[in-house]
Amino acid sequence: MAYHPYAIAFPAPAFTLRSPDFTDGAPLPDTAYAAHGGESPALNWDGLPAGTRSLVVTAFDADAPIPGGLWHWAVKDVPAAPGGLGRGARAGVPLVNDLGVAGYSGVRPPAGTGVHRLFVCATALGVPELELPPGASLAMLHILMIPHTLGRAILVGTSTPAS
C-alpha cells in the first residue's frame, strides 16, 4: 500500500497547484535531482482561498527508505502573490530540511528502492508570517500552521533511483 502523507493531515479546502517543469504523477525535471543541491521546481497556483496572506511550500519523499519519509524542502512566509514561484526560487524563509539544508535538496533515491513520490505541497495561510521558535522542527511547522490554514494544494512528482 502506498503511503499518502496528507491523507490524515488537518483538512483544508483545495486550490490549484501546477508546475511548468512536470505534470502531476510524472517524473521530476533533471534539474531537481542533484543530491545536495538541484533546483526546486517552478510552481504556479491559482484559486487561493480568500484571506490568503502567505504560503508554506514543502516537498516530502513519502517513499524514502527510512521511517517517516524525508523532507526535501520547506519554505515559509512565501508571498501570496498571484502566479507562484520560479524554478530555484528564493522567495520566503527557507527552513532546514531533513538533509540539514536550509532550502531545497535534490531528489535521487538510492539504488534498489524503486520509484519515489515527491509530494510538493502549498499551504495557504491567513497570516503574513508564521512565527516559529528558533530551531523549530518541520513537525512543529506543521503543528503551528493548523490554526492559520485556509487551503492546501498538492502536486506529486516521481523520481527513480540513481543508476
What pLDDT does 128 receive?
Answer: 97
Predicted confidence (pLDDT) per residue in 114-138, tens digit: 889 999 999 999 999 999 998 899 9
Predicted confidence (pLDDT) per residue in 55-81, tens digit: 999 999 999 998 989 999 999 999 998
The structure's pTM equals 0.93
CA distance 127 to 45: 18
For β-strands 54-61 and 16-18, DSSP reports them as unpaired
What secondary structure does DSSP assign to 21-60, as a single string?
S--TTSBPPGGG--TT---PPPEEEE-PPTT--EEEEEEE
Predicted confidence (pLDDT) per residue in 18-35, tens digit: 999 899 999 888 766 655
Identify whether the C-beta of residue 71 lies closer than 8 Å to the C-beta of residue 97. yes
Q: Give me the domains of the chain, ranges plus CATH numbers.
A: 16-159 (3.90.280.10)
What pLDDT does 110 receive?
Answer: 85
